[in-house]
A and B are shown apart, each in its own frame.
Chain A
Amino acid sequence: MILRAEHITFAYDTAEGVLRDVSLKLQPGVVTGLFGPNGSGKSTLLRCLNGSLKPRSGHVFLDGEAIATMDRRAVARHVAVVPQDTPVDIPLTVRQVVMLGRYAHGSAWDQESPEDVRIVSDCLERLGIADLASRLFSHLSGGERQRAVIARALAQQGSVLLLDEPNTHLDLAHQLEVYRLAKTLAAEGQSVLIICHDLLVSPLMVDTAEVMERGKIVAAGPVREVLNAGLLSQVFGTRASIFWDDASRVCAQFGN
């Protein structure tokens, strides 16, 4: 499915605009990286993209249908979100947490179906946490929790996946795993957006880049063209350069 934002503006209460005339298109088969310094509006944009925040002006369309007019469940059947932070004190087991991803597919009176159980087991397997299924979520390490939350998003079986800095709590091996998973899901036809913080691993793993600065998208396009020294220095306010060696190698230079 194609998720398209058109001329979105957003502001919290009376504060200065957090998003200013943002347009963006996520396409099936493509992993898009969203780059930008802290406070540039990346997470707010992500929340507008799944309709949980209502823009002051502009629209978000899912395959042509305005997301603002869709029921929350219908949105969740198509768009899954991995949030930046998840409360730790959830009194459920890992399997139960992942099962919550199936909520949008059930009716109010439903018990989970054998199909739900199979999907949840697959997702646990895919994130390598099947052996943690009956542990309490609150007893997991930060990295394990993050993988459980990603598994929950997969259990939604949507066609758009939005990840807000999914690698914050993950070690390098698991970071790479998440990126590979994103690529696999894109290859399976999903549209994927990842908010990225690191400039070493992520440029290699995403297909296109969108760069935000103070609520605006200031550059967009193929990642190798967009993430150049001039733009990075301008956006992050520090000297930073990325040198592309070949398709699988990137060197970075920061500061002086």
Chain B
Amino acid sequence: MAHQRRLLPIRFFLPLLLVGVIATMSVALFVGSADLSPIKVLAMLGQAIRGHSTEDAVARIILDIRLPRIILAVAIGGGMGLAGLASQTLFRNPLASPYVLGVSNGAAVGAVAAMLLIGKSLAYGSVPAMSIFGGCVVSATVFAMARRSSHFGHSLLLAGIAISAFCSALTAAALYLAGERLQSLVFWLMGGLWQATWRDVLLVAPVSLAALAGLTALAPAMNVALVGERSATDLGVHMRQLQILLLIVVSVTTSVAVAVSGVIGFVGLVVPHLLRMLIGADHRSLIPASATGGALLLLVADTLARTVAAPAEVPVGIVTALVGAPVFLGLIRRHADFGA
């Protein structure tokens, strides 16, 4: 039947995504600007697992550079997939992302301010702290502006767009005044994971896991929210409560990600949208799939970013869009009549 929807069953698709993530993680461990043979890497890992001291260069590259970077890519990608899904449900708009809320740009303003005023080398915590502060100030402002409106979702979107533009202007002004630090700031703003450390992993991973658990608990209410604010209220959802919780998930997850990796576009927008086309809009499937899909996309993109032009780095934001956009366009063509 023409209108019958053919979807991939989640019980096959989710394991497939997981296998994809694990396989990519394994490959990513073996590739990089330092040419290490897989045998060397495996031998070193074996030693590390047996508890032998591994102080040589190979161990440092694997354990202190590649492994935290790989895990950070998974954590940030997963978190961005979830933040994108949460904002799309919050606005009932498949084209929404943390950007339209202004959170990404707010976090970026915080981080840029920290770098210019305090200097990044001063203390590890200053940039993430200012970035999270910036993101949360923006979402609190957006929320305060929209709070009294009877069309909360729409007001939130409009306030977000305005504040996002304001924050972009602040960032642009900061860049204008940055002087000799302009290049490093621009590179940071493009987004990248080249400075990944275990401390970053410890900051991001718990937040992403908490977002996954929180959204999983909200999945049935998020399904109901698809029918619009009024009907969802009639069906028993406390919409204002749900909207606030989703706003918190989007703000915190995005601010933390921006804090350690700069502004990486596209993942939050494209992953949930793409998965909705493939597996349908039921959040009970879409939430784990968006987390896994986001992790996979960012991991693939980051692995390409550090290998295609090795030893140079390509900002990963460029790769996510270059890899993601054609895939996305192809899917839109195939599933055009399904929309979202």
Contact = CB atoms under 8 A, between A and B. Distances in A.
Which of B1, B4, B226, B338 counts the most A-chain CB atoms under 10 A from its CB? B226
A216 B5 CA distance: 47
Contact of B235 (A47, A93, A136, A156): A156
Given A50-B234, A77-B236, A91-B339, A108 B221 contact: yes
Interface stretch (A99-107, A174-182, A189-197): A99-107
A125 B237 CA distance: 26
Contacts of B92: 87
Interface in B275-329: 276, 280-282, 284
B47 interface: no
Interface in A63-87: 71-73, 75-77, 80-81, 83, 86-87
B223 interface: yes
A84 to B, nearest CB: 10
A91 B235 contact: no
Contacts of B217: 108-109
B5 A100 contact: no
Contacts of A80: 234
Nearest to B3: A139
A135 B3 CA distance: 6
A189 B101 CA distance: 47
Contacts of B5: 93, 134-136
Given A136-B3, A136-B338, A87 B228 contact: yes
Contact of A97 (B218, B227, B280): B227
Counting chain B CB atoms within 10 Å of each CB, which of A71, A72, A80, A108 scores highest?
A72
A52 B233 contact: yes
B236 A104 contact: yes
Interface in B149-185: 150
Nearest to B2: A139
A97 B276 CA distance: 16
Contact of B226 (A73, A90, A135): A90
A245 interface: no
Contacts, number: 86
Contacts of A156: 235
Contacts of B339: 89, 91, 138
A100 B223 contact: yes
Interface string B234-248: 111110000000000
Interface residues on B, range: 20 to 34
A23 interface: no
A92 interface: yes
- Central interface residue in B217, B230, B280, B338, by most chain A CB within 10 Å: B230
Nearest to B92: A87
B340 A72 contact: no
B231 interface: yes
A156 B150 CA distance: 25
B340 A52 contact: no
B38 interface: no
Nearest to B284: A111
B220 interface: yes
B236 A86 contact: no
Contact of A103 (B1, B4, B224): B224
A193 to B, nearest CB: 14
Closest CB pairs A-B (n = 4):
A76-B236, A104-B236, A91-B281, A73-B236
18 contacts: A47-B230, A76-B234, A76-B235, A76-B236, A77-B236, A81-B231, A90-B227, A96-B281, A97-B227, A100-B224, A100-B227, A103-B223, A103-B236, A109-B217, A134-B4, A136-B338, A138-B339, A152-B235
Interface of A: 12, 47, 50, 52, 71-73, 75-77, 80-81, 83, 86-87, 89-93, 96-97, 100-101, 103-104, 106, 108-111, 134-136, 138-139, 152, 156
Interface of B: 1, 3-5, 92, 94, 150, 217-218, 220-221, 223-224, 226-228, 230-231, 233-238, 276, 280-282, 284, 338-340
Given A76-B234, A81-B234, A103-B223, 13 more contacts: A80-B234, A81-B231, A83-B234, A89-B339, A91-B340, A96-B223, A101-B235, A103-B235, A110-B220, A135-B4, A136-B338, A139-B3, A156-B235
